[in-house]
Amino acid sequence: MPEKFDAIVVGAGPAGITAAYCLARDGLKVVMIERGEQPGTKNTMGGVLYRQMLDEVIPGFWKEAPLERHVIDQQWWLLSEDSAVKFGHRNSEHDKEPYNAFTVLRAKFDRWYAQQAVKQGALLITETVVTRLLRDSAGRVIGVETDRPDGELLADVVIVCEGANTLVLEASGIKPKPRADAMAVAVKEVISLPREVIENRFQIQGDQGAVIELFGDPTLGMVGNAFIYTNKDSLSVGLGAMISEFQRRRVHPHQLLERFKQHPVVAPLVAGGEIKEYMAHMIPEGGYEAMPPLYGDGFLVCGDAAGMVIAVHREGSNLAITSGRLAAETVVEAAEAGDFSARKLSAYREKLEQSFVLKDLRQYRHLTPMMERSPQFLGVYPGLLNRALQEFLTVDGVPKRQKEKQILRRILKERPVTALLGDAYRMWRALG
């Protein structure tokens, strides 16, 4: 007879660890199953972790968690082949406790976070792959099957936090395989540099951090972007785009990353650095429309597995944490009532509806499809903007009125007035 738990959590990432932490804290018998050697060894992201959502789970976590830097400087750069138009925001409020966001390296962070769940009483099983959900004759989920011999575990409820690769949900008939236009692939390098070099190049000091998102040329206009984040003594430098975009181009993601690092505005930032690690991961960017069912008889779905990513705001781990917390809250209520039916567990969706998670996902529901239909946003505008500023800022004796006319003519040549108006309307609609 397999061992029976109150709850099984599939996957030790931000969603799963949060769920396990909250359930164990509230006295439930919970097991978290992770396929890696340790929590974190399979996990990666660009690297920005927002404070608020984790603070609601472990108040003041930043005082002890292995974080890299707190973000005080955020920039967005639009790149042409050889130039950049830069926007940015630096804020001294973000330099004070409790802080707004941190850069993190997930192998270190997830390991620490999982340890906190274990301290609360959660059981952690590593090096074990969950292959599918087990159901009873009525179709209710009653446990999981793993790749271990006699590897079945039973529970009142299973919280699926398996991440972007939704193999368990698919094998269990809960969702179909995602489409290539709903998934992005990103590659990243951790590049080591001396602390003081990083602090000089990014104008930060102490534990202050800077992050840059870059659009346009880095992805050759494909829907996606590049990023540069500062860690303590390394940079996280990466780039991603929709898989459907890569299907159409004869280009390797790592080739684009190499090209990006050679871009004249990027090269000085990474110069002299040594690659410490190369990695890749998928991001579910299909948004609200691509989300699977979030609950059913005996199961709940959180985080990336549920498609909870808001690509335009670089948010994902924070949605994962909040969804894990709300799933645990729902399971605690279900345990009190002794009822794990879909009807009872539907409270999870209601909680998500009342939180920023589904509100934000719904607001941006049209953005990814719109961007995929409108290659001009990342393919044409960054270049146009760069050329316009170059022309305007080059002092060469040409009268300003004449320059303005030239700039306008060039813009209208590439995007006629009707197209410009259409684009403005599309973007306004998609941003809700």
Query: Which 8-state DSSP code applies to residue 323?
Result: H
Q: Which listed range, 17-25, 52-60, 207-215, 275-283, lies at the site for another protein (CB under 8 A)?
A: 275-283
Q: Tell whether residue 299 is a contact of another protein (CB under 8 A).
A: no
Provide, rounded to whole angstroms, the least separation between the CB of residue 190 and another protein: 5
Q: Residue 22 or 117: which CB sits closer to another protein?
A: 117
> Is residue 187 within the footprint of another protein (CB under 8 A)?
yes
Element (H, E) at 279: strand 274-284
Binding mask 123-162 for another protein (x = CB under 8 A): ---xxxx----------------xxx--------------
Q: Which positions ≥6 away from 242 have C-beta within 8 Å?
A: 180, 181, 183, 184, 222, 223, 224, 285, 368, 372
The distance of closest approach from Cβ of residue 322 to another protein in the complex, given in angstroms and rounded to an integer, is 21
CB 218 within 8 A of CB 79: yes
**CB 208 to another protein: min, Å:** 20
Cα dihedral 422, 426, 428, 432, rounded to 10, equals 160
Is residue 31 a contact residue for another protein (CB under 8 A)? no
Stretch near another protein under the rule CB under 8 A, chosen from 43-51, 83-91, 310-318, 366-374:
43-51
Binding mask 372-411 for another protein (x = CB under 8 A): ----------------------------------------
Nearest to another protein of 81, 404 (CB atom) = 81
Specify the residue, 36 or 382, whose C-beta has the smaller distance to another protein.
36
Q: Is the Cβ–Cβ distance between 219 and 379 less than 8 Å?
A: no
Q: Which residue among 81, 196, 339, 404 contacts another protein (CB under 8 A)?
A: 81
Give the dihedral sign, CA 20/25/26/31: positive
Regarding 69 and contact with another protein (CB under 8 A), the answer is: no
3-state secondary structure of 158: strand
Closer residue to another protein (CB): 61 or 295: 61
Contact with another protein (CB under 8 A): which of 11, 216, 218, 253? 253
| Three-class SS of 124-147 | EECCCCEEEEEECCCCCEEEEEEC
Nearest CA among 159, 167, 223 for reference residue 373: 223
Q: Does 185 sit near another protein (CB under 8 A)?
A: yes
Helix axes of 317-337 and 356-363: crossing angle, nearest 10 degrees: 130
**Residue 304: helix, strand or coil by DSSP?**
helix
In this structure, are residues 163 and 179 in contact, taking their beta carbons and an 8 Å threshold?
A: no
Q: In 3D, which of 321, 298, 317 has the Cα closest to residue 309?
A: 317
Looking at residue 148, what DSSP letter applies? S
Return the residue of 37, 136, 339, 353 that touches another protein, per CB under 8 A. 37
Spatial separation of the C-alpha atoms in residues 410 and 211, rounded to whole Å? 32
Cβ-based nearer residue to another protein, 218 or 298 = 218
220 contacts another protein (rule: CB under 8 A): yes
Span from 3-11, 100-108, 344-352, 423-431 in contact with another protein (CB under 8 A): 100-108
Nearer to another protein, 86 or 248 (CB): 248
Which x/- pattern, by CB under 8 A, does the window 233-252 give for another protein?
A: -x--------xx-xxxxxxx
DSSP conformational letter for 315: B
Q: Which residues bind another protein (CB under 8 A)?
A: 35-37, 40-45, 81, 105-110, 126-129, 146-148, 164-165, 167, 177-180, 183, 185, 187, 189-190, 220, 234, 243-244, 246-256, 258-259, 262, 275-282
